Every structure is written in structure tokens, then in C-alpha cells.
Chain A
Amino acid sequence: MFIPCDRGGDSAAPDFKGFTLLMPAVSVGNVGQLAIDLVISTLDMTKVGYFYTDCLVPMVGNNPYATAEENSTELSINAEVYSLPSKKLVVLQIRSPFIKNKYRPFCETLLSWVKSSKCARVVLLSSSHAYQRDDEQLLGTPLRYLLTPDLQEAVGGRMKELNWKEMEKVAAYPGISDTDKVLHIPGGGITKLLFTESCSEGIQMAVLLKFCSEGDNIPDAFVLVNYLNEWLQLIKSEVSTIHNSMDPSSPWKIPSSWRLLFGNGLPPALF
């Protein structure tokens, strides 16, 4: 599945032992993917390979993180892997939707790659439909986290210190009070599947998600990436609040590919 980039002289495959794998779920508003774009762009991460998979719709374009003419012509495809060894961070970016009936095969292949490359833990950035919140969830923070039992011991305490809220379970049959509670992440894409598989396979996984709706999801991406930063401290930020969105002095760098998200310029003949 993972194909390392040919880096010329250095022919050894990259070593991710002990690294944290950061990845998005293709979910409502694409918030996870936008947040990952911010991480890759700000930390100026190097591409180290890609996933050769039949589970995602094919796409290709030129370098989405280009900053100048010289670095704008590297091809980029739908599932690529970037790394920053100094922070023991490896990032997977997914750029297209899943093909029907391919969610499960992708999750299985991904988790077996996580195990074979000996990543220490996986952090999944995701989102969930805001309109599906219950009365209590409508109040307070729209951010939630989940930890697999294997990661609970290591970082559960830190989450409590940060005063984070764990994703609530909901009744399997709403309206009937004495039913089992289940995990329900509407609009979360493969989030629930990956999480439940990781629980049963003993993989250390954390899910960070935000309740949101489709629309201009750039502010949601900033909120989610700042939430991630509260824990992982990827960049220094003096004021790390959830209200820091599109502040021009924000430390996150918007990639050049975010231009024209809402259409082209207007025809002058219109006026």
C-alpha cells in the first residue's frame, strides 16, 4: 500500500517506528482534511511517499503547498504521506472520497500498515454533523475527543488537565430510556469504523472531532487544528484558545491551493 518516494541517493524506505501518525477522516465539511493541510503547510513537511490504493477516487494535480514557481510542479495525488522526523510526526493526507464498498478494505489495509511500520499512535481528525447534536451538546464546546483503551492510560490524564470533553455515547434506540449506549458519529466518514477496529486490534488511537455543518469550513479547520495543538504542541502559540480563527497573525500558514474555493472571478460584463 505505502510506496516510498524515490529520493535519489537515499534508497532506504523511511522509518516510522515510534512516530505519531496524524490523518484525517473524509467527513462533513472536510474539516479533518483542511486541518491536515494547515499542519503540512505550516510545518513545511516533506513528502515521503504515497498510498497505492483502489479505495479512493483517483485525482492528480500540481503541488498544493507550492510557495513559488520552482516548487509548484511536483505532482500530487489522492493519498500522500509526509514526515517531520524532528517531531516524530508522520502525516497522511487524503484528497478524494472513498469508492463505494471500499471503506472497510481501506481501514483494514491502513491499520495493518500502522502495525507493520510500528507507529506509536494514530491521531484521527474528524467532524460530525452539528444538526445531530442533542440538547446538552448544543451548549459549550463543539470539540470532542475519543481514546482507544490502549491510549487511555497514557494520555487520559492529560485530556482531563486540558479540560477536554469526551464524545458522548447515545442511546441505541432514541426515546427508549433503558437501552444500551452506543457510539454514533454521523457525518464522520470512516471515523467510527477506524476507531472500533483500533479498539479491538489494540492500536493506540485518539480521535479529535468538531461538530460542524457544510459551508465555509475554513474557520472550523482552524479551530480543530488549534485543538490538536493544545495537546501535541506542534507549533508555539501564545494564545491557544478555541476562538482564534482567521486572525492574520495566526501562526498557521494557509496553502496556496485554498485559493478560489468558492468559484472564479465574476464576469465584468455583469455590471
Chain B
Amino acid sequence: MATFFGEVVVAPSRAGLDEEEEAREETPEDREIRRELEKKRYRKIDVQWTWQAGGSAQEPLVCSRFIVAIGRNAAAFLSSFILDSVCWEVVGVVKLWNEWCRTSSTTNVLPTDSFCLFYRLISDPTVLLCQCSCYVAEDQQFQWLEKVFGCMQKKGLQVTILSTCPVADYKTQESTLTLVSPFLRALKTKEFQEQVCCPLLEQPNIVRDLPAA
């Protein structure tokens, strides 16, 4: 659709459900391919912890602070400024597959790999960090969430989520060309009582996908 200025904006289909979709004729081969794809996606979200860390539904990980970096930029920020092999150790990995990426099977990853790793601060093992540079598809986000947080004790837990969005997506009265970027914005729950280091995200901006989940 064209905006008032004339540039063409791709508006994704809003209705979502096409009636024809349900009655679609599928060949047996299509059906088989679809079933295999679904099995691969849903079966393959797997959270594995190293034996020292523990972490399971029966024996939840004791965690006071959990920092999650989602996306390549946020993951790179942690790699550059926070993580090092002296103070942090790898304690877990999430393995998943979707049509856009497959997570790397090693913990010795390159910045260009897709991976989702958990680290623990050696001096304070209740501080956990997650670097998630792989793309988690929308139908896998809920499962990722349940599997990761299902392993953790939630009482007294403070969660910080780091992610990035393109400046072009930021809605503001002025043009984004005149904005000084990069800039920070935050969203917080009402239980978070500490000082936030930057302004809160103004309406009508929203956050989507895994950070939102």
C-alpha cells in the first residue's frame, strides 16, 4: 500500500487465516514433507546443560540474574565487552532447527555461526547469561521460553533482555534521518524497581518476537 508520501510499504496480510488454506488440496508427497518439517522443528528445540550446572524441571537452576542477548548485534556486544574465558564458563546450549538456521553443534563458536549458549559467572554462579544469535521462528518462541525458564528458579530472579531494532522501524514525529543513532530505549515490568539507564519506549513503538516473548 502507498503511504501518504507515496513510497510503497509492504503491508503483510493482516487477516492471517485464508479460508482456502484449510481446504487446500495436498498431494501425499506435500503432506509428508510438511509433516517431516513440523517434526524437525518441534522435536528439535533442546536445552542441554553441562553436568555441573544441573538445571531441569526437577532440580531448577538457582539464578539471581539472567541476562539474555537476542540477535547478532546484542550477542556481539556481550562477546566484545562482557564475556571472557577467565570469568565466564559455558554451562548450556539450546539446539534448534528451522528453515532459516540451524544452531552450531559445538560450544566453540565463531561470530558468524548461529548459536544459543548459556554462560555462568564463575565468581557468582547465580549470574547467568544467554547469547542467542540464531533466529527463533515465531512458532518456536513459546517453546524456547518454556524450556529455558522451565529449568530456572523464578523467585527473586531479575531478567535483563538485550536486543536491537533498525532505526527505520522507530516511529516518531520527526524523520528518522535526523535522529542521532544508535540510541537506547527500555521496557520494564512494574516489579522492576531499580533506575533504568535510558528513556522508556514511547508509544506507538512495540517490540516483537523472542524479546517480546
Q: Which residues of A contact B (CB under 8 A)?
A: 26-30, 54, 57-64, 66, 72-75, 77-78, 96-103, 184-190, 192-193, 214-215, 256-269
Contacts and interface: CB of A to CB of B under 8 A. Distances in A.
A243 B158 CA distance: 52
A57 B203 contact: no
B52 interface: no
A247 to B, nearest CB: 21
B32 to A, nearest CB: 17
Contacts of B205: 61
A262 B178 CA distance: 18
8 contacts: A29-B14, A58-B210, A72-B202, A184-B19, A189-B16, A257-B204, A266-B175, A267-B175
B112 to A, nearest CB: 27
B11 to A, nearest CB: 6
Given A30-B14, A97-B16, 13 more contacts: A26-B15, A26-B16, A57-B208, A60-B187, A61-B201, A63-B203, A74-B190, A78-B212, A98-B17, A190-B17, A192-B19, A263-B4, A266-B5
* Interface residues of A, dominant DSSP: loop
B209 interface: yes
B181 interface: no
Interface string B1-12: 101110001011
Contact of B200 (A60, A73, A261, A264): A73
Contact of B212 (A59, A66, A97, A264): A59
A260 B189 contact: no
A57 B16 CA distance: 11
Contacts of A96: 208
Interface residues of B, number: 43
Given A59-B212, A186-B19, A99 B138 contact: yes
Nearest to B200: A73
Contacts of B210: 58
Contact of B139 (A100, A186, A214): A100
Interface in B4-46: 4-5, 9, 11-12, 14-17, 19
A192 to B, nearest CB: 7
A259 B200 CA distance: 17
B206 interface: yes
Nearest to B213: A58
B175 A62 contact: no
B73 interface: no
B171 A264 contact: yes
B99 interface: no
A145 B159 CA distance: 46
A197 B211 CA distance: 34
B177 interface: yes
Contact of B15 (A64, A72, A78, A187): A187
Most buried by B among A97, A102, A261, A269: A97
Given A99-B139, A103-B17, A267-B175, A72 B203 contact: yes
A237 B13 CA distance: 34
